[in-house]
Structure 1
């Protein structure tokens, strides 16, 4: 029996079917590669991620001001600059990039694509992790030429501190980018970057005036900077600083899940 003219076929040709999305893992890896390439190709982000921390390292290691407290100056300076690198990539760069992606509708598009919101977040986490690792290698190599000798017993706790610090600052970046208009994100992220330099990132919290010491130690900047100095200079385990970073990461993540807007 022949089908009537114009009747739909009971089976759709394979060529007419839409292509199936790539496996989840491949989508997430592709997004991570894209996010990483975007950071490395973007001149402003590269400036904040590598150039400025390098200049800070040279300036602190080769000068006598400001007072960085006990310990070899190059060792204390390097720990602070590594903290600065984490803040620059996980917070400042991601806040600005995500804020403008939201304004241009990129986040809304990706959120309903096969990538999904989880894939977008995993991509950002992967990109931040890769760039931070690159920063650690580059800045660590420069510091080694300047005479940096980290405490061997502190390498593992330092890596844990970096991971917790990156998680806390990335969560804060997404919270800022998802609740403030892009122009405001640009201004606030850069302002916060400047203020945090002196609140525990480059300058140890015990070098601050008494009125600021307690506040700085409760901020993620102070916890990250002091934690890396304790690990890399003294070989200690910064348990208190880890607790502070975990609280900030958890609170910022919860706030982001509650108030993040995917479009203006």
Structure 2
């Protein structure tokens, strides 16, 4: 009988095991989200409706700027909020109520693995959102700058990490009913006046919010990337800071039951 000696370091083996668990959790979360009609409504249908409404009403049209070129990056940012903040927050809150998270707490997944697995699911759903919303935008006349695609990918990753962590922090510390109300309220407020779909003014007190709000950072970053092919470093750092703080908070105060 042939035997094979495993000479790989224990740390490498543990890392591979964690990666497999995270990917398995990510696949489960993705399939669950795609089968859930309410999450599809929040993650895909409402952002597409918002895009049609903003473009057809000409709310972002300017003499020197075609409104669709501003609207599509903003709606893509709204899609990140929909799947990461609202979708994952609500799903996690009710998983916690029904004991699903209590079961997961007995597995090797752990809080960090849960957060990473949900981030994988958000990114998987986001691929579908980008394809659908981007396709609708192209049909409406959107012409993104190809040079900004790498920067846009960075913002999608940072935005998914930040808002997934924020959603999990809320779901892990509040009651499911409060999570449902709070995440939906945040989706509406941030989408309308948080710099996501509609850019914040460059002067006044609202301009100051644009420096600290993760929603404004995501919206501004995607508009700069896909509209001008530029990387907004300040906005990216804001998102990374929010991702780090919310992840630390979720790991510290997340309640499995």
TM-score by length of 2: 0.88
Does residue 1:139 correspond to 2:133, yes or no?
yes
Does residue 1:125 correspond to 2:119, yes or no?
yes
Alignment of 1:1-264 (within 5 A): 25-65=19-59, 71-197=65-191, 198-206=193-201, 210-263=204-257
Q: Shift of residue 25 of structure 1?
A: 4.8
SS at match of 1:205: coil
Q: What CA deviation, in whole Å up to 9, does each residue of 1:47-82 have, x standing for no partner?
A: 010000100111112222256795221110001000
Consecutive unaligned residues of structure 1, counting only runs of 5 or more, are: 1-22
The answer (yes or no) to whether the contact 1:110–1:117 under 8 Å persists in 2 is: no
Of residues 55-64 and 108-117 in structure 1, the stretch that sits farther from structure 2 once superposed is: 108-117
Q: Root-mean-square deviation (CA), in Å? A: 1.8
Of residues 142-151 and 63-72 in structure 1, the stretch that sits farther from structure 2 once superposed is: 63-72
Of residues 112-121 and 82-91 in structure 1, the stretch that sits farther from structure 2 once superposed is: 112-121
The answer (yes or no) to whether the contact 1:68–1:77 under 8 Å persists in 2 is: no
Change (3 A) 1:70 1:204: farther
The answer (yes or no) to whether the contact 2:75–2:197 under 8 Å persists in 1 is: yes
Change (3 A) 1:69 1:218: farther
Q: Shift of residue 211 of structure 1?
A: 2.2
Consecutive unaligned residues of structure 2, counting only runs of 5 or more, are: 1-16
Q: Shift of residue 162 of structure 1?
A: 1.0
Partners of 2:219 and 2:63 in 1: CA distance: 13
Partners of 1:173 and 1:93 in 2: CA distance: 8
Partners of 2:82 and 2:94 in 1: CA distance: 17
